[in-house]
């Protein structure tokens, strides 16, 4: 009798442990089980250097979505960032998307200036106005070699 109760307790702990691991995997991996509450926006950049899938998309300093992937438009010679934005967030067609760096050498993220003077962007629309990331090494080398004023 005591043998079965010990096995039951161990089994219960194993099941609870697996449930906890599953819950953490879903939360950390940003996986949605009960449906998707976001929409896709696209933003063309001349370069997406340093930006990765899963990086944050922010507006007014708050996270509103994630970078979902990248495409290449070889005709226009542009890299297109695919972003998943929370459905509650409104982004307008005069918005500006910029690739920024968190801190001096931190991760890259997409910062969206929401606009507000135009139509609301819907699922699959493109943010036309974009700003590519600043290359810190290029700026340092210009400063170090005295080419700051030259273009």
Can you name the residues that pair with 85 across neighbouring β-strands? 39, 65
pLDDT at 138: 72
Reported as a single tens digit per residue, the pLDDT across 14-24 is 999 999 888 88
Mean pLDDT of 124-143: 81
Residue 104 has pLDDT above 80, yes or no: no
Residue 1 or 53, more confident? 53
Report the pLDDT value the prediction gives residue 115, as an integer from 0 to 100.
Answer: 78
pLDDT for 45? 93
Distance from the Cα of residue 116 to its chain's centroid: 22
Render pLDDT for 38-97 as a digit per residue (tens, 0 to 9): 999 999 999 898 899 999 999 999 999 999 999 999 999 999 999 999 999 999 989 999
Cα separation, 56 vs 109, in Å, equals 5
pLDDT at 9: 87
Q: What is the mean pLDDT of residues 121-136?
A: 86
pLDDT band with cut points at 50, 70 and 90 for residue 110: very high
| DSSP-assigned beta bridge partners for residue 62 | 59
As a whole number of angstroms, the distance between CA 63 and CA 114 comes to 13
Distance in angstroms (rounded) separating the CA atoms of residues 18 and 15:
5
| This model's pTM is above 0.75 | no
């Amino acid at each position: 009798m005591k043998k079965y109760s010990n096995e039951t307790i161990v089994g219960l702990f194993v099941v609870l442990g697996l449930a906890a691991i599953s819950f953490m995997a879903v939360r950390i991996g940003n996986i949605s089980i009960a449906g998707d509450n976001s929409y896709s926006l696209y933003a063309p950049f001349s370069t997406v250097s340093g930006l990765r899938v899963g990086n944050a998309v922010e507006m007014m300093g708050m996270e509103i979505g994630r970078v979902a992937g990248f495409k290449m438009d070889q005709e226009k010679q542009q890299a297109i960032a695919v972003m998943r934005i929370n459905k509650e967030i409104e982004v307008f067609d005069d918005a500006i998307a910029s690739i920024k760096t968190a801190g001096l050498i931190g991760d890259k993220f997409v910062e969206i200036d929401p606009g507000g003077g135009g139509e609301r962007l819907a699922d699959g629309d493109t943010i036309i106005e974009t700003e590519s990331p600043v290359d810190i090494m290029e700026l340092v080398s210009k400063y170090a070699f005295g080419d700051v004023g030259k273009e």
